[in-house]
Structure 1
């Protein structure tokens, strides 16, 4: 089965949003090597050892009950990144979550459609950035320093990008949210859409089918520095970088944040750089574990990065910043945009 899977994958067949024949081939291609068990932070931090892909896929093969395993996953992608067969583990698990339409086109009728002024760059902060206003303030400072022609499309009002609904399996509901956001994006007439949230970034890139360039703020800042539009000075700080799951493993954005961080600080290399990054524990995808278990994952992640004795733990996600910040009382946790604004 694995040989058939490799052939189909190389031929360009991809896993869609629904469980289908290609999904079945992948499920039966699992070699039961167990590498996913060791890479899973639910196992190492919470001693949850029955939900990893090797067990979940076995339940699917054997036509056994799998609801608990489908829900109990951080969707961080560490298992998928280490799978020697290259199975689309997150997508298969997501396809097995029930698609229940809890949201209709009238759900967000109370949210006024903001007036969006046209500009070359549209900035979408997203829900979590609005809950971490330091990131927004830093991005506004960066836009102004670079003299960018930008419009802040969800400054006064907006709705979620739709990713949390999609992660829970509710694709139809997510589409309702996405349609509302598309109106704002189209009204901006922008050439580039910049977002500070990797969750929004992945959704805009993969699910919105936009005709404009989508950039995470690390990519945009890197571009500004490389093109000489933004001048920065290196701060006298030792930093380690926590690459958010959706940014590094989820979208393959590794070089841009590394480049920016090296420009503004003394970046310390770690065993968790790039796609080997640890999950912060604040995942919106896991609906099975409680807050105590999530805090344990976050605490273990902070300890792993703190072992390198940095002055600052830097991330590039508002959710990661909030999650790691709660369990890092001694070492400050900052978003990369905040560090750039200081520089």
Structure 2
């Protein structure tokens, strides 16, 4: 776990992949160019947010498939695919296919629960079964079984010239070990018990704690995850915070970044809403300033890999400056070494 003078093992970032609805292709191409640049800069991973009925990536698996053909080394993840809108059998087929095309570089992150704004479109998503759908962790277990090759069909054999398998095809060795789950305390415990990897984000809640401090709560979640993992020494945790280095930013960019963080700061002062959500402050400053903040952050001190979140609403030039500074300034301050291509 990183301390001053020790090494951060893996550096990545998370992006929504926004686009103009009048010209969605341009936004998707921009996302692919960003992934190519990330590999050139030596990043370990790029993670894609998943957004349905919004102007962000609605099909991260398809974007990852395209990215596999433009990159050779960098890992590609999702944070997270909401399984309430997915069929676990079909998703397992897609994930395995893309993983094979990538040479084993896919890191699918998933979550469960009733989809966001479900009542607005449930009759279009599940016309006959919208009141019967099971949005529990059973969906994750089904996905895991499908990825592992647990039989899903009663038939295996040949009919005419067609061959049929009992298990989902294709199978991609090692994919199950790169499956991630995101969530709060109960999810952290469950992910550990299942031997899944665990994604944290810039939002937690006060479930099971007396603390109102984001970093303390995030650290408690990570500790609970590891305490419930059958092999805690091999348990992977990735921390996600909004981190904006300004080393090479223009004065105009710095002003924009600070105004963005300031506009979102009030929500970090106390738990929000009925679920008592606690938001992390956005971290803006030079890489040296950010490193000092992270080395005093209880959550960061418990991880060996990060996927820093890019803000939703910036321009391409801003994202390129931020990720370049992450790789060339912030990463080295955290003891990280860029990977060679």
Query: TM-score w.r.t. structure 2 length?
Result: 0.27
| Higher share in strand | 2
Q: From the two aligned structures, give the one with the greater helix fraction.
A: 1
Provide TM-score, normalisation by structure 1. 0.27
